[in-house]
């Protein structure tokens, strides 16, 4: 299934829902362009909800790492939410769980941004 993205804003936080596959090629490019454009437009807090992602390949992992770096260099933060077991296992095996701020649900990721804003 091709990657589909949904976007919404909650309390100034951009939530991008990903559904389908994050693989090398058009899917990765779509996600990369969406996040890059948002960061260039001044968005500083982004949650990627990966709850509907059924497959991710090495190109998709590379895209997530590149997005993390792009956001960080622009003073923005990306948090991952609702990882499927498959995606979570893959991030664990590749040791990328230590790179990303991962939350069990979208609401937890949003709440962690809110707490940071208060602190």
Could you confirm whether domain 4-118 is CATH 3.30.750.24?
yes
- Helix, strand, coil distribution of the chain in percent, nearest 5: 45, 30, 20
Provide the percentage of residues in the chain whose pLDDT is more than 90: 91
Residue 25 pLDDT class (50, 70, 90 cuts) = very high
Residue 117 pLDDT class (50, 70, 90 cuts) = confident
* Predicted model pTM: 0.94
Q: What is the Cα–Cα distance from 66 to 115, expressed in whole angstroms?
A: 26
Domain boundaries, the chain: 4-118
Q: pLDDT tens for residues 43-82?
A: 999 999 999 999 999 999 999 999 999 999 999 999 999 9
């Amino acid at each position: 299934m091709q990657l589909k993205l949904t976007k919404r804003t909650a309390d100034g936080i951009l939530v991008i829902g990903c559904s389908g596959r994050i693989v090398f090629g058009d899917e990765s490019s779509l996600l990369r362009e969406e996040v890059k454009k948002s960061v260039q437009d001044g968005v500083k807090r982004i949650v990627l909800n990966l709850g509907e992602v059924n497959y991710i390949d090495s190109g998709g992992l590379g895209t997530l790492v590149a997005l993390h770096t792009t956001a960080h260099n622009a003073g923005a933060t990306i948090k991952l939410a609702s990882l499927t077991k498959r995606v979570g296992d893959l991030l664990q095996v590749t040791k990328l769980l230590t790179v990303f701020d991962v939350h069990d649900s979208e609401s937890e990721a949003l709440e962690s941004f809110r707490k940071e804003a208060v602190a």
